[in-house]
Chains A and B, each alone.
Chain A
């Protein structure tokens, strides 16, 4: 008799408590074998864990998702990747899919739905949260004359929203508890990505592209 196939799953989670929570949920399913957890994807982590599935919590994580997935697939070419996020936003999901993930799960789902999503991705299917899939498809079919907000990082999105609210760099700095220099760097990167040179232009782009 053949042994039942199990999916070796590696959890990438910067929050130690939630890494344990995910492991506890996943191990309830006999088809999933949690082979470890780590705060970031490195070549050595992936090579030693030999995962079939990577489950990555992208929130509060400063990892470069594109680079991380490239690293993972260089070490484990067939690995499936499922991103986990708190953000029920098409832009965030799009960023994940562009980076090469096979699934995108929002953290407000029930444990049962979470397990269904994880098993779908592990089984070779693509899973995206059905609530945002439709919005994404609608956006893709419309002509987008404006810069793609999916190019912005989560922090840049926060900053551009405060620009739209009319805040100065100093005010944004106080609101986000970051230095003014950091805010200036974010604004500069937003300008580059939006191909503009003024805050008003950035605000208009953000509004028209549906970011705000």
Chain B
């Protein structure tokens, strides 16, 4: 069975190794762990999933999603966000994130959210759905 290739964009250097460890621990193959939205690296690695911490990316978050979606259109773009303001999850989805996960999610909820998006094509965390 083909392993799922994942690109991680986590600017918080202190936490990035833990995120990689979490994803690798359930069998995902983390092919890139980046501190910034490096489109060339993401494009080169052609991941099935791009997991991006939207709260700390250096570019405007919606733009980041659009750019990532443009570079790897068939990948599941997983937006990891602490924002809960009205319409935010919908804006992320509209820009091309087919998986939107709240930062209140536990590690197992994160994994199941990504898996759900891979299985059915989309996932929006219930905590964010309520306010979108």
Contact = CB atoms under 8 A, between A and B. Distances in A.
Contacts of A175: 60
B43 interface: no
Given A14-B104, A15-B82, A20 B18 contact: yes
B19 to A, nearest CB: 7
Interface in B8-61: 11-15, 17-19, 22, 35, 55-56, 60
Interface in B56-70: 56, 60, 62
A86 interface: yes
Contacts, number: 70
A211 to B, nearest CB: 18
Interface string B60-95: 101000000000000000000011011110010000
Q: Tell me if A's interface is mostly helix, strand, loop or mixed.
A: loop
Which bracket fits the contact residues of B?
20 to 34
A107 B12 contact: yes
B110 interface: yes
Given A14-B82, A179-B86, A109 B14 contact: yes
A179 to B, nearest CB: 7
Q: Tell me if B's interface is mostly helix, strand, loop or mixed.
A: loop
Given A17-B106, A39-B104, A107-B15, 12 more contacts: A16-B105, A17-B15, A17-B22, A17-B105, A17-B107, A21-B14, A59-B56, A60-B55, A60-B82, A60-B103, A108-B12, A108-B13
> 8 tightest A-B contacts by CB?
A21-B18, A60-B82, A15-B103, A108-B13, A107-B12, A107-B14, A16-B106, A21-B15
Interface of A: 14-18, 20-21, 24-25, 39, 59-60, 86, 107-111, 114, 175, 177-179
